[in-house]
Amino acid sequence: MRKNDKYAKKAPLLIAKQKQRQNNVSNPHESTSPSSSQPWLLLLSVFLMVGNGIILELMIAGYSAHLYGDSIYQFSLTIGLFMSAMGVGSWLTQRVESQLIAWLCDVQIFTAFAAGITITALSLVGMYTASYPLFSLLWTALLGGLTGFQLPLVIRIIERDWSVKRLLAQVLFIDYVGALAGSLLLPWWLMPRFGFANSSIIVGALCLLSVCLLWIGFGATLRRSLWRNISILALGVSLLLGWQYSQELLDTLAQRRVPGVKQIYLKRSPYQEIRFTKYKGSYFLTLNRQSQFSTQDERRYHETLVHPAMLAARSRKRVLLLGGGDGLAMREIWRYHDVEEVVMVDLDPAMTDFGRTHPIMKTFNENSMVPHKTRTYCLYKRRCDGQQAQLIYEQLMPDKTSSCPSPKAIGIPKTQCRLDVRKVHTKQRLIIKNEDAWKYIEHNKQPFSVIISDLPDATNISLSKLYSVEFYRSLRKRLTADGAMSVQSTSVSPFFRRAYWCIVNTITEAGFRTHGYHTWVPSFGTHTSYTLATQRPIQPKTLILRTPTHYLNQHVVPNLFWFPKDISHVNTPVNKIDTHILLRFFLNG
């Protein structure tokens, strides 16, 4: 009985302490009423907060994949870390016992600042230090923690006016809808229109909009803080300045790393960043800041890619070009008079528009991307002892009125055989398909005499599938029995040895007879490698050049197929859709 009396005496004191604790948590200026708009403003703030969080984690993962490749690794690591950091942020809110609105507002202000400079900070760290991987992880954790910190505060503020059932239903619904909105907004609108840097600033502005919603609903509390007012004003001005100058700043800093670089053309499409620059008299093309060619030696690359397949095929009537939107490989294809139709399949219309319309590119690709054109060729045929005339040389002429060069001028030696020289005019057609190469091959059933694959290296899953045995089997069905295919097959340096021979082995597994070959491209700093594939046996040493070239000659061609011991053939697993082993070889050696 005494024990019960003891508890009875303490009960009022405990109740009073509990009420005092609740009063400490609740600020009179933060109170809401069921009929007020404050809970709905908080829910709208949750919508913006969650949507911005999704955009930020996807943006960081995408930018890291843009720099380092391996999109699965980058997205898995970034999203996992971001969500874990959200949990840590939620856990930390238990330390907050009062002034919930003020805490929420301050965290959102800091989130807006961090979001706005995300891509700029990542770019600068990647540009000037070797610590990008560590910094990106720390930045991801920071943004995740800030995002996770906010939702529990919102729930605690609204819980005084709504039942638990209604509160959880409304908050979780808004949470999930906001996540969906963010995941759609980034790929459908932000990235195609604004690119990484300005998209980051837009996210910062949306975070600042969330702060403004709190200001509308809880202004009586928030207006008391002078530093908070100044911070919001300064942040708004900073975002406006960043919108105007951030991308320009990054471009300028990137160019200062190589003094003398002049930017000629820049286009950000939904698929990639196309950058065309000039340096010391040569032009350079980069896609997503990865080098594609330099005009000082691009003929080494494109002549070696195109001519072996064109020579190995018995007919060149229809040619399929995968990639090559700059028109440089197309330039080499048109050197053959019997080409009647070329189908170019390049995913990005911005790339093909650049190759087709830019005046500098039209000069280097010799205006090769005209849809319909009649071209003039000079054919040199040798006839010996009543035998059928044999074509030994052909040359594309600038126009119909140009005279054919003399045999001596082009290096044709005199023999006892008769040499016939005549002009022919060939109507040729180019069809450009801006679609995924996989889908085009899947739906198109027409055969091709020559297939040339000038696709980027397999740095992600989307590209790796275009180097898979399943894709090459589809290509084999589209190639005529006496046709030939050449495939750009990354580098053949010792580090990429397994990646290169994995491509060759995969093409062989698809049913082709394969020959690997390579050439030195100085601007790449490595040997670029290729694969020549046919459905009938051929001997590379029998390939005879019969068109004018700048790099290849009859002595170079057979030597392309010779490999030193340290990069010679190795057995590897083949690249399949369900394994993507090539991606691992490419990234890890």
Residue boundaries of the structural domains of the chain: 24-254, 262-292, 296-374+428-588
CA distance 110 to 227: 13
The answer for residues whose C-beta is within 8 angstroms of residue 175's C-beta and 6 or more apart is 46, 50, 151
Which run of H or of E encompasses 286? strand 282-287
Specify the 3-state DSSP secondary structure of 527: strand
Cβ 267 vs Cβ 274: under 8 Å:
yes
296-374+428-588 topology per CATH? Rossmann fold (3.40.50)
Which run of H or of E encompasses 322? strand 318-323
The total of other beta-carbon atoms located within 10 Å of residue 21's CB is: 12
Q: At residue 378, what is the residue type?
A: C
24-254 topology per CATH? Growth Hormone; Chain: A; (1.20.1250)
Q: pTM for the complete prediction?
A: 0.79
Whole-number pLDDT of residue 24: 42
Do β-strands 341-345 and 372-383 pair in parallel, antiparallel, or remain unpaired?
A: unpaired
Whole-number pLDDT of residue 379: 95
Q: Which long-range contacts (CB under 8 A, 24 or more apart) does 473-478 make?
A: 473/510, 473/511, 474/441, 474/442, 475/441, 475/451, 475/510, 476/510, 476/511, 476/512, 476/535, 478/320, 478/441, 478/444, 478/445, 478/446, 478/447, 478/448, 478/451
Phi, psi of 277 (to 5 degrees): -130, 165
The answer for residues whose C-beta is within 8 angstroms of residue 167's C-beta and 6 or more apart is 155, 158, 159
Whole-number pLDDT of residue 428: 95
Q: At residue 483, what is the residue type?
A: G
Strand (E) positions, 92-186? none
Whose structure tokens read 């809110």? 93
Whole-number pLDDT of residue 33: 45
CA distance 561 to 241: 55
Q: Please choose, from the candidates 511, 479, 449, 453, the residue with its C-alpha nearest in 3D space to the C-alpha of residue 314.
A: 449
Whole-number pLDDT of residue 573: 96
Whole-number pLDDT of residue 224: 61
Whole-number pLDDT of residue 7: 44
Q: Please choose, from the candidates 151, 141, 150, 133, the residue with its C-alpha nearest in 3D space to the C-alpha of residue 79.
A: 141
Whole-number pLDDT of residue 20: 47
Whole-number pLDDT of residue 223: 62
Report in angstroms the alpha-carbon separations of 62 from 257, 329, 514.
24, 30, 36
Phi, psi of 425 (to 5 degrees): -120, 120
Whole-number pLDDT of residue 214: 86
Cβ 468 vs Cβ 434: under 8 Å:
no
The total of other beta-carbon atoms located within 10 Å of residue 72's CB is: 14
Q: At residue 347, what is the residue type?
A: L
Whole-number pLDDT of residue 217: 82
The answer for residues whose C-beta is within 8 angstroms of residue 78's C-beta and 6 or more apart is 57, 60, 61, 64, 136, 140
Q: At residue 476, what is the residue type?
A: R
The answer for residues whose C-beta is within 8 angstroms of residue 132's C-beta and 6 or more apart is 64, 67, 122, 125, 126
Cβ 310 vs Cβ 451: under 8 Å:
no
Specify the 3-state DSSP secondary structure of 464: helix
Burial class (CB in 10 A: 0-12, 13-18, 19+), 333: buried
Strand order of the sheet with strand 290-294? 262-268, 273-279, 282-287, 290-294
CA distance 430 to 432: 6
Task: Locate 314 and state its tokens.
Answer: 């018995």
The total of other beta-carbon atoms located within 10 Å of residue 124's CB is: 16
Cβ 311 vs Cβ 545: under 8 Å:
yes
Whole-number pLDDT of residue 375: 95
Query: Which segments of the chain have a pLDDT < 50?
Result: 1-3, 6-8, 10, 14-17, 19-35
Cβ 96 vs Cβ 23: under 8 Å:
no
Whose structure tokens read 């679609």? 435
Residue 161 falls in which region: left (phi positive, over 0), alpha (psi -120 to 50) or beta: alpha
Cβ 142 vs Cβ 136: under 8 Å:
no
